[in-house]
Amino acid sequence: MLPPFDPWRSAAVAADVASAALGSPEQIEGRRAQRLTELLASAARDSPLYRRLLAGRELAGLSLEALPIMRKTELMARFDEWVTDPELRLDALRDFVADRSRIAEPFLGRYVVWESSGSGGQPGIFVQDVAAMAVYDALEALRRPVLRPFGRLLDPWSLGERIAFVGATSGHFASTVSIERLRRLNPLVAARVHGVSFLQPTEALVAELNALAPTVIATYPSVAAMLAEERLAGRLTASPQEIWTGGEDFSVTMRRFVRKALGCPVANSYGASEFLSLAFECPEGRMHLNSDWAILEAVDEKGHAVPAGEAGATTLLTNLANHVQPLIRYDLGDRVTLHDEPCHCGSPLPVIEVRGRCDDTLRLGGPPGRAVAVPPLALSTVLEDDADLFDFQLVQQGRRELLLRTGLRGEAAEAALRRASAALTDFLVRQGAKGVHIHCRSGEAGLRGRSGKVQRVVRR
């Protein structure tokens, strides 16, 4: 069965996304206000949870500040009364995402489903209908920066591109599900877009990329930096013409290194499992929020809005595209700075600065004279998928010394740490890092990074 897709709705949304980018900030604000009212009306009508929260309120013109902040833990605990379709049940969805053979398969014949990584201590499950997917598709297609204008002029439909996504390809994660969905919907895309697992040893990953010879590599900043090192060492011979990154903090220094080593332009984006395409870079290198479809609030520790130009302690998301699973003032956990001055690129969309994940790539003892670089998201994926451990911090204390700690306590915590230590040891041996000793401690909170989130993988 093909994944959910409505060509007529997709065409209409694409036309709206294209015209909005040519409009004014006032027109963007008008679209946002109308969509917020529609979202609130849908939630008040169809979600038992929001029916109670919004009872007796005048929805048109309702200020978001009047509504409570919602967090993943409480929403997942009340999942069946949170969603607007009574046929959606959390137990059935968990069984669905546990089956990796069903990635991008439609759930109940009409929904796209993916899971989050659990960086806040608990994984989330997110359900999208054709309306939400039409929005994400249009934003990805029309607002991603054009890094090679002349190449796009000669090949406007990107038929000559070979795209490799390097990430966690074996789970129901947003990027993996989205790519597999496109592959199933379009045979031409299936031949040009490939998923490459970053869980395999670096040598195998590099060999696969060399064989694919992609023109575009989409991955995380830490993986892009690792590939840049492999290119400088002469092991990566593939010559991509573009690098697309997202999902982690990307410093100016790291970006400069990746661009120089790989010899091609780099563009960063900002997205989340809760909203796939929040922001893209413009030609000026500034990040623009897709504010016609998403609302971000930068707030302090007490949940109060911070002034423009100031980073909040956390960020609240209101997703205007997804009416199936209403995300209204949802705590993302990222630190975002909202700016009110216009950008020189001329876009009517507001400029934001994002401090996302800032985990470290570990460099562990390997063959003589060579350290084994292990990207942080690969380590997180192993601990989550193979050990069911989501509340953790992994700290490198020496060339072959790791500290794995969790805030959990008791027998369940000790059992989780034993599973995690075994899974992690097995994974590192496959990567070529042998003899790594893992110290485990429970009942310890992790250190927080610049993003405001607990750093899950730290190199000292």
421-438 pLDDT, tens digit each? 999 999 999 999 889 999
Q: Give the tens place of pLDDT for each residue, 335-351.
A: 899 999 999 999 999 99
* Domain assignment of residue 1, yes or no: no
Asked if residue 299 and residue 188 are part of one domain, the reply reads yes
Element (H or E) spanning 178, and its range?
helix 174-185
Please give the single-letter amino acid code of residue 27.
Q
- Which pairing describes strands 362-365 and 351-355: parallel, antiparallel, or unpaired? unpaired
Whole-number Å distance between alpha carbons of 254 and 63: 40
Please give the single-letter amino acid code of residue 7.
P
Q: Is 168 in contact with 99 (CB distance < 8 Å)?
A: no
Whole-number Å distance between alpha carbons of 140 and 133: 10
Q: Is 272 in contact with 357 (CB distance < 8 Å)?
A: no
Number of Cβ within 10 Å of residue 349's Cβ equals 23
- Which pairing describes strands 437-442 and 401-406: parallel, antiparallel, or unpaired? parallel
Task: Answer whether residue 446 shows pLDDT above 50.
Answer: yes
pLDDT at 1: 81
Please give the single-letter amino acid code of residue 436.
V
Asked if residue 266 and residue 396 are part of one domain, the reply reads no
Percentage of the chain modeled with pLDDT above 90: 66
Structure tokens at 17: 């996304």
Asked if residue 89 and residue 54 are part of one domain, the reply reads yes
pLDDT at 315: 95
Q: pLDDT tier at 85 (50, 70, 90 boundaries)?
A: very high
Asked if residue 367 and residue 326 are part of one domain, the reply reads no
* Domain assignment of residue 44, yes or no: yes
**109-123, 230-244, 266-280: the lowest-pLDDT one:** 109-123
Asked if residue 435 and residue 296 are part of one domain, the reply reads no
Q: pLDDT tier at 209 (50, 70, 90 boundaries)?
A: very high
Name the residue among 337, 241, 219 with its Cα closest to residue 289: 337
What CATH number has the domain bearing residue 287? 3.40.50.12780
Whole-number Å distance between alpha carbons of 47 and 35: 17
Average pLDDT over residues 64-79: 94
Higher-pLDDT residue of 456 and 362 is 362
Whole-number Å distance between alpha carbons of 194 and 100: 17
pLDDT at 451: 38
Percentage of the chain modeled with pLDDT above 70: 93
pLDDT at 120: 53
Task: Answer whether residue 220 shows pLDDT above 80.
Answer: yes
Q: pLDDT tier at 448 (50, 70, 90 boundaries)?
A: low
Q: What are phi and psi of 379, to 5 degrees?
A: -65, -45
Whole-number Å distance between alpha carbons of 298 and 68: 15
* Domain assignment of residue 372, yes or no: yes
Element (H or E) spanning 394, and its range?
strand 393-398
Residue with tokens 């379009």: 186
Task: Answer whether residue 10 shows pLDDT above 70.
Answer: yes
Q: pLDDT tier at 250 (50, 70, 90 boundaries)?
A: confident
Average pLDDT over residues 120-131: 85
* Domain assignment of residue 318, yes or no: yes
What is the number of structural domains in the chain?
2
pLDDT at 170: 84
- Which pairing describes strands 275-281 and 266-272: parallel, antiparallel, or unpaired? antiparallel
List CB contacts of 79: < 8 A, sequence separation 6 or more: 88, 90, 125
Task: Answer whether residue 149 shows pLDDT above 80.
Answer: no
Name the residue among 245, 247, 242, 239 with its Cα closest to residue 225: 245
Asked if residue 368 and residue 345 are part of one domain, the reply reads no
Please give the single-letter amino acid code of residue 258.
V
Q: Give the tens place of pLDDT for each residue, 350-409.
A: 999 997 666 788 999 876 667 888 888 889 888 888 888 888 899 999 999 999 998 888
**72-86, 138-152, 378-392: the lowest-pLDDT one:** 138-152
Range of the domain at 385: 362-459
Asked if residue 374 and residue 331 are part of one domain, the reply reads no
List CB contacts of 391: < 8 A, sequence separation 6 or more: 121, 406, 407, 408
Q: Taking the complete model, does pTM exceed 0.85, yes or no?
A: no
* Domain assignment of residue 2, yes or no: no
pLDDT at 251: 77
Average pLDDT over residues 314-342: 95
**8-22, 37-51, 112-126: the lowest-pLDDT one:** 112-126
pLDDT at 450: 41
Domain termination site, one of 315, 338, 355: 355
**124-128, 248-252, 388-392: the lowest-pLDDT one:** 248-252
Whole-number Å distance between alpha carbons of 266 and 258: 8
Q: What is the dihedral of CA 444, 448, 452, 456, to 10 degrees?
A: -80
**SS3 of 337-384:** EECCCCCCCCCCCCEEEEECCCCCCEEEECCCCCEEEECHHHHHHHHH
The contacts found for 417-422 with CB under 8 angstroms, 24 or more apart, are 417/389, 417/442, 419/386, 419/387, 419/388, 419/389, 420/383, 420/387, 420/389, 420/392, 422/387
**141-145, 210-214, 361-365, 455-459: the lowest-pLDDT one:** 455-459
Q: pLDDT tier at 123 (50, 70, 90 boundaries)?
A: confident
pLDDT at 114: 96
Whole-number Å distance between alpha carbons of 196 and 175: 12
Neighbour-count burial of 25, counting CB atoms closer than 10 A to its CB (0-12 exposed, 13-18 middle, 19+ buried)? middle
Task: Answer whether residue 185 shows pLDDT above 50.
Answer: yes
Asked if residue 136 and residue 32 are part of one domain, the reply reads yes
Structure tokens at 115: 């899971």
Residue with tokens 């059992």: 415
Asked if residue 286 and residue 263 are part of one domain, the reply reads yes
Structure tokens at 190: 């299936």
pLDDT at 88: 97
Average pLDDT over residues 305-311: 93
pLDDT at 96: 97
List CB contacts of 175: < 8 A, sequence separation 6 or more: 165, 167, 218, 247
CA–CA distances in Å: residue 294 to residues 24, 80, 126, 316, 350? 17, 24, 16, 10, 11
Structure tokens at 210: 């060399």
Domain termination site, one of 326, 355, 384: 355
Domain termination site, one of 320, 338, 355: 355
What CATH number has the domain bearing residue 373? 3.30.300
Asked if residue 444 and residue 332 are part of one domain, the reply reads no
Q: Is 7 helix (H, G, I), strand (E, B) or coil?
A: helix
Structure tokens at 41: 């009306």
Whole-number Å distance between alpha carbons of 25 and 342: 9
Task: Answer whether residue 155 shows pLDDT above 70.
Answer: no
* Domain assignment of residue 251, yes or no: yes
Please give the single-letter amino acid code of residue 210.
N
Residue with tokens 């109060």: 304
The partner residues of 297 in beta bridges, in order of sequence, read: 316
pLDDT at 444: 81
Asked if residue 405 and residue 349 are part of one domain, the reply reads no
